[in-house]
Structure 1
Amino acid sequence: MRKLTITLLATFAIAASTLSNAAEYVVDVKGAHAFINFKASHLGYSWLTGRFNKFDGSFTYDDKNPSASKITVNIDPASIDSNHAERDKHLRSDDFLSVDKFPESKFVSTKIVDKGDKKLEVVGNFTLHGVTRSIVIDAVKVGEGKDPWNGYRAGFTGTTTINVADYDFKNAWVGNIELELHIEGIRQ
């Protein structure tokens, strides 16, 4: 019995030390150190760019085992900002985001692949316009370390492209939208 107890304690100690390497972070939206930007073709002639002003999220990150990391980001689609009030009103309407019917959008990672040289492939479920699809975000770890306020931060950037037709938009003619994420988290 004593041998079993020692084995169980050793197993728990190893598991706890493995888990303790993963740090918990909250995305720093209060300090405006995180951004979700988008870019879409405008009639094939130019680019329409903008951002989402309201979102939050959290992630765990283990530098020694990046594949054990996870991220969740919640986006308020009504916060879309293309720097033009009338266009934003149209983008919130049933012609596009239908924010009254679908007031939230979300990304939840399902797998993170360490590609080496600070590059990560973040696979996850992205919900937009009431539809959930798997997407891949090509991410890069920008850096991590102590901040001037006695905290600790880690930052990442990532890009992905989504086809609006995959998310049941009325105006599927818009085609692809490029998303660019800049995520800085504060360790908890």
Structure 2
Amino acid sequence: MNSLQNRANAVMAFSISAIFCLLGAIAFSALIIPSNPTGTVALDSIKVVTGRYDKYWVDYKTRDNEFANTIMRIDADLTSLFHWNTKQLFVYAVAEYSTPTHPKNQIVLWDTIIKRKSKAMIRKKGVTNKYSLIDVNKKWTNVQANVSIHWNIVPYVGFMTYGHSKASEGYAFPLPSGIQN
């Protein structure tokens, strides 16, 4: 005859197994829900300036780094990414370019977190880059960048999924102000 502890253990083990099977089914079913998100980013202006990375950071070898400041237009419809298992979306604009020393470079220009389907339609003009746009080579000469919208779907249960829109045409970085060819 089983004791009360053995019976409670059997009930708890069965309950936990059933819950995990249900959560697994939820996680896999969320992966097959169709979605058709769209998004574009257009750079209205790119301005390259020279200066220090930070006023407290002292680099005696190179005092003049080149920074790029951008003004963007963001147009995205991400409402189809929201379903019963979507907790939030992490959306960000990425500039991707290549240089002779580094074949693939990606820099996040702007990001946001969307928690409701009603906020998943993004139409913004005059957005400036949120993060410093500085290259490893410290110069923006002869760089062509493609810009696109990326998103991460954070679910209540299951796997985090990623996606991105089609990249825009290449944007050339101008010479810094006050410098001639």
For the pair shown, the structure with the greater C-alpha radius of gyration is 2
Q: Same fold (TM over 0.5)?
A: no
Higher relative contact order (CA 8 A, sep 6+): 2
Identify the TM-score tier after normalising by the shorter chain: 0.3 to 0.5
Greater fraction strand:
1
TM-score, L = length of structure 1? 0.32
